[in-house]
């Protein structure tokens, strides 16, 4: 093994360190510090939304979003089958039922053509999660939500900085959610954000992230909430990173395009194009899917071979209907989702971090083309 190329290495700039150090020196370390409000305001302006609420993770943001919309027991929320488990957990924890929709093999997002088939009288919302590369066709999603009077929770955790038809992803939802985990475009280590234009929802989200403290008697709590606050230290890092979002998105696109140009002619794999009709590819992660079954190789085998050359990868999301915990709960019995099943078995993503060098991309592509 000549070297190790990690799947992700975030870029922490000198100014990021300086800004965090300033916050530490001032003693503002908890969630009540000024950087939290500054970060929320800056992110709201970035999205062109009225309100933003910082939280401890993208998962926390989803849980708060579902509860803030007053989703009740036995209500239904439509989610993609191919996604992070947080989408399903946020629904289940509220006593509601996640209703799964298969993936579109052309975009890897939720298959919009199948959404209306899953809508019932109990359906209250859609969680529209932008997966890996392209945004969902939001015009079509919004049309469905309007037709059936459904709330839209837009999970934009993976597409910070991306635009759909000149409007930023994460600006479409009744509530939108974001993640600032280490592998995202901007990071606070752990952390997340909610965005909305609705003042009532904003106040509810603020309360839910902060244990629903009472208005008259602080320790006489109004509702079941969580301690899902973001610290001032995290906010200082996020605020600093947000200033570089344009260059970060540009670097993501450059990285993805470098991969695409070197892998597009390989008939044994699929890598999505740099552009579609309504957006550029954000290339949050550089995903590939093995197409040729006659190779007798799935994503696990490919990952082992790449690791022998020092190339670290990650598997694609495991579909919701095959999750061990959900099988025990018998949530999705007898349902079939062929596209997401195929993607999960034959898909993985390659090193995709912001610190990745051009020569490393060329090395990875050479090894991958040799293997496949």
Looking only at the bridges linking them, the beta strands covering 123-129 and 175-179 are unpaired
Domain boundaries along the sequence of the chain: 14-242, 245-371
β-partners of residue 98 are 77
Q: Pick the closest to residue 285 from 43, 108, 148, 122 (CA basis).
A: 108
DSSP E strands in 184-323: the ranges are 192-196, 269-270, 286-290, 314-315
Please list the rounded mean pLDDT of every run of 10 residues in the chain (372 residues): 85 95 92 93 98 98 98 96 98 97 96 98 98 97 98 98 96 98 95 98 97 91 95 97 96 97 97 95 97 93 97 97 94 91 97 95 97 96
pLDDT of residue 2: 65
Q: Which pTM value belongs to this model?
A: 0.96
Q: What is the per-residue pLDDT for 1?
A: 55
One-character DSSP codes across 319-335: PGGG-HHHHHHT-STT-
Which helix (H) or strand (E) element contains residue 163? strand 163-164
CB-facing half-sphere around the CA of 368: CA atoms within 13 A: 32
Q: Which of 65, 14, 40 is nearest to 180 (CA)?
A: 40
Identify the CA nearest to 318 among candidates 343, 298, 344.
Answer: 344
Return the structure tokens found at 265. Answer: 């002619």
For residue 76, give the DSSP letter.
Answer: E
Which pLDDT belongs to residue 3? 83
pLDDT for the residue numbered 334: 82
Residue 303 has what pLDDT? 98
> For residues 227 and 209, what is the distance between their CA atoms, to the nearest angstrom?
6
Task: Specify the fold of 245-371.
Answer: 3.90.1150
Nearest CA among 277, 284, 287 for reference residue 252: 284
Q: What is the pLDDT of residue 335?
A: 87
d(CA 34, CA 286): 36
CB-CB contact of 147 with 41 (8 Å): no
- Mention the CATH class of domain 14-242: alpha beta
């Amino acid at each position: 093994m000549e070297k190790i190329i990690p799947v992700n290495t975030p870029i922490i700039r000198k100014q990021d360190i300086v800004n965090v150090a300033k916050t530490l020196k001032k003693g503002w370390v908890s969630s009540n510090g000024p950087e939290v409000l500054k970060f929320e305001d800056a992110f709201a302006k970035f999205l062109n939304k009225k309100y933003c609420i910082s939280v401890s993770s993208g998962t926390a943001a989803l849980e708060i979003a579902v509860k803030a919309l007053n989703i009740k027991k036995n209500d239904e929320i439509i989610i993609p089958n191919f996604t992070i488990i947080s989408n399903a957990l946020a629904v289940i924890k509220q006593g509601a039922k996640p209703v799964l929709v298969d993936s579109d093999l052309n975009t890897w997002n939720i298959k919009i053509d199948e959404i209306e088939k899953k809508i019932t009288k109990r359906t209250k919302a859609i969680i529209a999660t932008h997966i890996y590369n392209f945004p969902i066709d939001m015009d079509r999603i919004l049309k469905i939500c309007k037709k059936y009077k459904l709330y839209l929770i837009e999970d934009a955790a993976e597409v910070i900085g991306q635009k759909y038809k000149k409007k930023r992803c994460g600006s479409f939802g009744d509530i939108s959610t974001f993640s600032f985990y280490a592998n995202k475009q901007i990071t606070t280590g752990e952390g997340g954000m909610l965005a909305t234009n609705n003042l009532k929802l904003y106040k509810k989200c603020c309360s839910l992230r902060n244990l629903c403290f009472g208005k008259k008697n602080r320790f006489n709590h109004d509702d079941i909430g969580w301690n899902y606050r973001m610290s001032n230290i995290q906010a200082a890092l996020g605020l600093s990173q947000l200033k570089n979002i344009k260059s970060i998105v540009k670097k993501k696109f450059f990285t993805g395009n470098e991969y695409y140009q070197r892998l597009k002619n390989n008939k044994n794999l699929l890598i999505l194009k740099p552009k579609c009709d309504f957006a550029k590819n954000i290339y949050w992660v550089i995903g590939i899917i093995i197409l040729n079954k006659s190779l007798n190789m799935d994503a696990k085998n490919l990952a082992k071979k790449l690791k022998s050359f020092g190339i670290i990868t990650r598997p694609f999301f495991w579909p919701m209907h095959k999750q061990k915990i959900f099988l025990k709960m018998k949530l999705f019995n007898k349902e079939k989702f062929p596209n997401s099943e195929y993607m999960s078995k034959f898909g993985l993503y390659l090193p995709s971090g912001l610190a990745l060098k051009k020569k490393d991309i060329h090395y990875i592509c050479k090894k991958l083309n040799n293997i496949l």
